[in-house]
């Protein structure tokens, strides 16, 4: 495994974001706003809500949001057609799920590329299914049908977000847990000594960096 330990993830969520929450690990989450409730901080981003210990956040930074170009409304028939035909493109579904969870779309797509090469029909020897390679038991816990691409992606991204929150933004631990499970991360205090997991973490980070880290 390379010596890459942390990657500073700048969440590229456009338009409504007003500040960056900078975690103690260097991880950034672009959010619309935040609220402090006792020892916790509630982060609101694109309709999603994430709760973190106040001690995990180093600071908030204001973000300048340039004005967006005004676009004429699409004809009613076109709008109706689009609403009736949701996208089945994994990249679109990944981007939308990433935005809902407040994660960098490029980071989420990097995980999906390493997991399944963005293929919905991929099944691992252990039984993991689809784009985000969900195990059937994991999918049940997340209340998702792993054979449904949209549900598979949404559940996988929610799991990834929850792991990042669980490890206070430690990307390496979160990726290790996504691959090998939280029990393995707890047992070894970090990346387990499994070549598969070490290679997995390294490959995801390299793919993300290759995508420009956006």
Print pLDDT tens along the chain (214 aa). 544 444 444 333 333 346 878 877 666 677 778 888 888 888 776 656 677 778 878 888 887 555 544 444 555 554 444 555 667 899 999 999 998 888 889 899 999 999 999 999 999 999 999 999 999 999 999 999 999 999 999 999 999 999 988 888 888 999 999 999 999 999 999 999 999 999 999 999 999 887 655 5
Using an 8 Å Cβ cutoff, are 152 and 144 in contact?
A: yes
Backbone angles phi, psi at 8, to 5 degrees: -80, 115
- Structural domains in the chain plus CATH codes: 19-63+88-210 (1.10.530.10)
Q: What is the pTM of this model?
A: 0.66
Which among 90, 24, 9, 102 has a CA at the least distance from the CA of 60? 24
| Strand-strand pairing, 33-37 and 57-62 | unpaired
What per-residue string of b and e applies to 1-24 under the rule 16 or more CB within 10 Å gives b?
A: beeeeebebbbbbeeebbbbbbbe
Contacts of 161 (CB under 8 A, 6+ apart): 48, 50, 101, 102, 103
- Which amino acids are annotated catalytic? 115
- Residue 212: predicted pLDDT: 57
């Amino acid at each position: 495994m390379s010596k890459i330990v942390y990657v500073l993830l700048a969440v590229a969520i456009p338009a409504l974001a007003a500040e960056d929450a900078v975690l103690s690990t260097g991880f950034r989450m672009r959010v619309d706003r935040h609220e402090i409730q006792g020892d916790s901080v509630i982060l609101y981003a694109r309709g999603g809500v994430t709760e973190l210990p106040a001690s995990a956040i180093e600071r908030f930074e204001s973000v300048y949001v340039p004005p967006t170009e005004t676009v004429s409304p699409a004809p009613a028939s076109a709008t109706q057609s689009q609403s009736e035909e949701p996208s089945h493109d994994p990249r679109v579904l990944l981007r939308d799920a990433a935005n809902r969870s407040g994660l960098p779309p490029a980071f989420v797509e990097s995980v999906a590329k390493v997991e399944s090469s963005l293929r919905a029909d991929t099944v691992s020897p252990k039984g993991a299914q689809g784009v985000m390679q969900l195990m059937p038991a994991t999918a049940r816990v997340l209340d998702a049908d792993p054979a449904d691409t949209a549900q598979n992606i949404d559940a996988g991204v929610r799991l990834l977000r929850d792991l990042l929150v669980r490890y206070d933004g430690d990307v390496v631990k979160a990726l290790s847990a996504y691959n090998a499970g939280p029990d393995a991360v707890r047992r070894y205090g970090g990346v387990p000594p499994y070549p598969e997991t070490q290679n997995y973490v390294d490959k995801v980070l390299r793919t993300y960096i290759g995508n420009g880290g956006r």
